[in-house]
Structure 1
Amino acid sequence: MRLWTVTEPWGPEGLTLDETADPMPGRGEVRVRLRAASLNYRDLLIVRGRHVGGALKHGAPIIPIGDGCGVIDMVGEGVEQHQIGDRVIPLMVPNWRSGPVSPAKMAGALGLHSPGLARELAVFPERHLIKAPSYLSDSEAACLACAALTAWSALFEGPGLRPGDVAVIQGTGSVSLAVLQFAKAAGLRTIVTSSSDDKLASVLALGANHGINYRTVPNWAGAVRDLTDGVGADFVLDMGAVGSLSESLRAIRMEGQIAVVGILEGGSAIDPAQFLASAARIRGITVGSAEMFDAMVRALTHHEIHPVVGTVLPWTEAPAAFEMLSDGNQFGKIVLEF
């Protein structure tokens, strides 16, 4: 089989298409033939060798990408939950089954601590797989394990939101678009910020209630206050850009919740007095558990929500796809098809 690897010196230009023997499943394992894989910003950080403060400085080769979909083409002895022909999604964080997150549960993340999905064939313990919703295409199903699950966790695994509550969504990246879709299905009122009028037009077409261009309205928190009669938003999805958290604190109502999901360039410092004045609840979001994934799939299927796919490329063009993601101009997920 063929697979992409990357090592020092890191970067999309360092991706190498290699070939190795086909893997074979052992007891309790299945082999998945990949059909599609989608890129996330965390994958770009990994390929650049600096995910979570440079976790990849050991220099060992990485098979990147943690989000994908495939079909089981071989099963080992003792497999009970799956069979040949099942279309499945590998859990990006397979050890987090339920409950609160912990370092032990985060160990083994695909494309970081264990081999990712930039390969034609992969073997997994059967419990590390979720059946793909039948109504989704391969490319759409390949968008669920990272961005969609992160969005679900941000919106629904914290203090409860109710229909009519106001959700501010920073940006139009894959997590932001998934939050918009889930928020719309839950009856929330949504305000999306972006630096592009064209992208704002696209999110309004997807059902956003309001759009704010933060380049022309840098004090977007004031605009949020105006749209909420001075009360502020109930929820803010914060992408971790320079100054974003400070502005989120100005936009949130007292005791509202801010979900931080981004690791964008430069970070975001806050004034402790501003934090205390808001009495906001700030949560860092790290994907989600298998239990959350099951709940998300039920909701997706009930509402027949389709992830927003922007660009589809052959998987052999992975370096070009990572460069495209690095440019930051895409709208919707970048998907590699096998």
Structure 2
Amino acid sequence: MKVMELVGPGLDGIRFAERREKDVPLGHVRLKLKAVSLNYRDLLIAKGSVPVTYPCIPLSDAVGEVVETGVGVGRVKVGDRVCPTYYPDWIDGTIATEKFARDRGWHGDGVAAEYLVLSEQELLHVPAHLSDAEASTLPCAAVTAWAAVTRHVTLRPGSTVLIQGTGGVSLFALQFALAAGAETFLISSDDEKLARAKALGAHHVLNYRANPQWGAAILEQSGGRGMELVVDVVGAGTLEQSVIALSNGGHISQVGVLGGFAASVSLYPLMTKEAHIDGIMSGSRDCAESMMRAITHQRLRPIVEVSRQLTDLPEALLHLEGQHHFGKVTLAIDH
């Protein structure tokens, strides 16, 4: 079968290759993949920013059709359209080290291939109303956003939510917050993207480059109420402003490290607001299944801006690195 491989650090270390298809053992299925989508962590892995054992098949998010089942399979059947979970070993319950020790495309092969053989326990049925490109975006970005807006907070109509940026996780968080009836605030440095976010339903938008003290500006926009939830995708460089924007008792869902892995924050404002910073490591299969039901019920559609072919992976990662995207970048797999 055809695959994309990482053979060394850097985007010039991506190559097209052939691998032998695996047998289908007890409790496993063979998936014919239809589309994959990109996440920022895929760029970090491809560039060698984290340790990788080469050669490695990259990427974590995909959708495919079950074309063969092993003995004892009962969760899925031939013809079902499914996506693999992001963390194969996190089925349910709270986070634990052993549940996220293995993820696709980093600690083992990922999904940039024509076929995969996986345990049926790692699979999720996808909403029928979504295209293959849309469905491929769900395992990491959508589940992370769902966890960010549901795990430690209960959003109600009128709850205030601030979202940073217009990437995949951010726009999923916007859609989920809007579906809950929240009043939404979104920041970006790009006025065109802010206009597009407004068209998607964001109630208030702000250019953070034009307003470096955007925490206070958001506080003012909310009439002094502050944010019950901030979905922070950056960390370093934004965390202090996120705290300023919070309401008393508010929560920050820390879902990204676009600004790096180390951040500092003044403790006193955190204390006086009795604020919470909640780390989010995506979610379990149970969490993902709850999200799938919500997407189906609300008829939500992921925002897919760019759709290319799997062989365009290096160019697609460059597009991601340049932060030119609005929503998700996906790649189709032709057979």
TM over 0.5: same fold?
yes
Which shifted more, 275-284 or 91-100?
275-284
In the other structure, the counterpart of 1:324 is 319
**Cα distance in 1 between the residues matched to 2:287 and 2:119:** 19
Which shifted more, 104-113 or 287-296?
104-113
In the other structure, the counterpart of 1:212 is 206
In the other structure, the counterpart of 2:176 is 182
In the other structure, the counterpart of 2:291 is 296
Q: CA deviation at 1:7?
A: 3.6
Contact 1:23 1:121 in 2 (8 A): no
Query: What aligned pairs does 1:122-133 form with structure 2 within 5 A after superposition?
Result: 122-133=116-127
In the other structure, the counterpart of 1:269 is 264
In the other structure, the counterpart of 2:217 is 223
In the other structure, the counterpart of 2:330 is 335
Q: CA deviation at 1:241?
A: 4.6
Q: CA deviation at 1:217?
A: 1.2
Residue identity matched to 1:331: F
User: Which residue, 160, 172, 176 being the options, matches 2:166?
Assistant: 172
**Cα distance in 1 between the residues matched to 2:86 and 2:154:** 25
Q: 1:265 to 1:229 in 2, by over 3 A?
A: closer
**Cα distance in 2 between the residues matched to 1:208 and 1:268:** 28
Question: Which contiguous aligned blocks of 4+ residues in structure 1 show a shift greater than 4 angstroms?
Answer: none
Is 1:260 aligned to 2:259, yes or no? no
In the other structure, the counterpart of 2:34 is 35
**Cα distance in 2 between the residues matched to 1:84 and 1:303:** 27
RMSD between aligned alpha carbons?
Answer: 1.2
**Cα distance in 2 between the residues matched to 1:176 and 1:308:** 10
Contact 2:145 2:169 in 1 (8 A): yes
User: Which residue, 215, 231, 238 being the options, matches 1:237?
Assistant: 231
Q: Provide structure 1 residue ranges, at least 5 long, that are not aligned to the other structure.
A: none
Q: CA deviation at 1:275?
A: 2.2
Q: CA deviation at 1:92?
A: 1.0
Q: CA deviation at 1:205?
A: 0.3
The alignment-based identity, stated in percent, is 39
Residue identity matched to 1:326: E
**Cα distance in 2 between the residues matched to 1:144 and 1:334:** 12
Residue identity matched to 1:34: L
Is 1:306 aligned to 2:301, yes or no? yes
Contact 1:180 1:208 in 2 (8 A): yes
In the other structure, the counterpart of 2:273 is 278
Residue identity matched to 1:3: V
User: Which residue, 60, 63, 72 being the options, matches 2:54?
Assistant: 60
**Cα distance in 2 between the residues matched to 1:106 and 1:312:** 29
In the other structure, the counterpart of 1:2 is 2
Question: For residues 275-320 of structure 1, what are the alpha-carbon distances to aligned partners after superposition, in whole Å with 9 as ceiling and x for unaligned?
Answer: 2223211011111001101100010000000000000001111111
**Cα distance in 2 between the residues matched to 1:11 and 1:328:** 18
Q: CA deviation at 1:274?
A: 2.9
**Cα distance in 1 between the residues matched to 2:72 and 2:301:** 34
Q: Provide structure 2 residue ranges, at least 5 long, that are not aligned to the other structure.
A: none
In the other structure, the counterpart of 1:108 is 102
Residue identity matched to 1:72: V
Which shifted more, 76-85 or 300-309?
76-85
Contact 1:30 1:76 in 2 (8 A): yes
Q: CA deviation at 1:6?
A: 1.0
Number of equivalenced pairs: 332
Is 1:136 aligned to 2:130, yes or no? yes
Which shifted more, 314-323 or 199-208?
314-323
Contact 2:234 2:258 in 1 (8 A): yes
Residue identity matched to 1:312: S
Query: What aligned pairs does 1:82-161 form with structure 2 within 5 A after superposition?
Result: 82-161=76-155
Is 1:14 aligned to 2:13, yes or no? yes
Q: CA deviation at 1:265?
A: 3.3
Q: Secondary structure at the match of 1:37?
A: strand
Residue identity matched to 2:4: W
Question: For residues 175-208 of structure 1, what are the alpha-carbon distances to aligned partners after superposition, in whole Å with 9 as ceiling and x for unaligned?
Answer: 0000000001000000000001100000000000
**Cα distance in 1 between the residues matched to 2:246 and 2:178:** 19
Q: Secondary structure at the match of 1:124?
A: strand
**Cα distance in 2 between the residues matched to 1:288 and 1:76:** 27
Q: CA deviation at 1:44?
A: 1.0
**Cα distance in 1 between the residues matched to 2:266 and 2:254:** 16
Task: State the TM-score, normalizing by the size of structure 2.
Answer: 0.96
Q: CA deviation at 1:24?
A: 2.1
Q: Secondary structure at the match of 1:279?
A: coil
Task: State the TM-score, normalizing by the size of structure 1.
Answer: 0.95
Residue identity matched to 1:248: S
Residue identity matched to 1:42: R
Q: Secondary structure at the match of 2:228?
A: strand
